[in-house]
């Protein structure tokens, strides 16, 4: 019985057609292999390096958005993490999301110095326009008699601060750079 099954297997293997591992043949197979090689050697490393870089600057973006007082330190740690293959990245991530309690005890503030700078001329103009728009909307509501007590109080405060918002004048030689 064992001899017969061996002979049957030998005859079946001889009579069977050749197996095809690919649906392509000849030049099409070579062209597909060339395209896959280019993708693997060029596109994949670019995407992997870009993804690695993006993930490593995320703590820096978080620190910037949260006005973290040590955002420059977090920036340096992110750059060093790129050099050292990501070993410092968890430290930057923890620093970006942690509340700077020790910094606040030492310096009395928990925001970056940029947070406390006065607005520049563009920001002041935007602020003045926003205040004017709010004031106009509140005036129209007050004329119709539809102003709730909270908004009536806000209307009074806006009237009081309307004269305080000033846009600094640009000097004559400033714009001609």
pLDDT along the chain (177 residues), means of 10: 77 72 77 91 94 89 90 92 88 89 80 76 77 82 81 79 58 44
- Could you give the CA distance from residue 148 to residue 158 in angstroms, rounded to a whole number? 15
Selection from 93, 86, 88 nearest residue 66 by Cα = 93
- pLDDT for res 104: 78
- So what's the pLDDT on residue 93? 92
Kindly give, in sequence order, each residue whose CB lies less than 8 Å from that of residue 53, ignoring residues fewer than 6 positions away.
82
Domain extents for the chain? 37-109, 118-161
The pLDDT, as a whole number, for residue 172 is 43
pTM of the model: 0.49
What per-residue confidence (pLDDT) applies to 61? 93
The whole-number pLDDT of residue 127 equals 79
State the pLDDT at residue 164.
67
Show Cβ contacts of residue 165 under 8 Å, excluding neighbours closer than 6 positions. Answer: 124, 127, 128, 131
Between CA 132 and CA 138 the distance in angstroms is 10
Distance, CA of 68 to CA of 108 (rounded, Å): 14
DSSP code for 145? T
What's the pLDDT score for residue 171? Answer: 45
Contact at 8 Å (CB) between 42 and 27? Answer: no
């Amino acid at each position: 019985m064992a001899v017969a099954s061996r002979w049957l297997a030998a005859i079946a293997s001889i009579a069977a057609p050749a197996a095809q591992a690919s649906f392509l043949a000849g030049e099409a197979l070579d062209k597909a292999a060339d395209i896959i090689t280019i993708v693997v050697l060029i596109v994949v490393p670019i995407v992997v390096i870009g993804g690695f870089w993006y993930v490593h600057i995320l703590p820096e973006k978080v620190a910037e958005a949260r006005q973290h007082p040590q955002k420059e330190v977090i920036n340096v740690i992110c750059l060093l993490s790129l050099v050292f293959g990501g070993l410092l990245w968890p430290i930057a991530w923890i620093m970006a999301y942690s509340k700077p309690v020790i910094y606040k005890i030492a310096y009395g503030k928990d925001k970056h110095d940029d947070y406390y700078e006065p607005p520049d001329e563009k920001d002041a103009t935007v602020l003045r326009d926003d205040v004017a728009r709010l004031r106009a909307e509140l005036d129209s509501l007050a004329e119709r008699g539809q102003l709730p007590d909270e908004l009536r109080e806000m209307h009074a405060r806006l009237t009081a601060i309307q004269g305080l918002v000033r846009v600094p004048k640009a000097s004559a030689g400033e714009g001609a750079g």
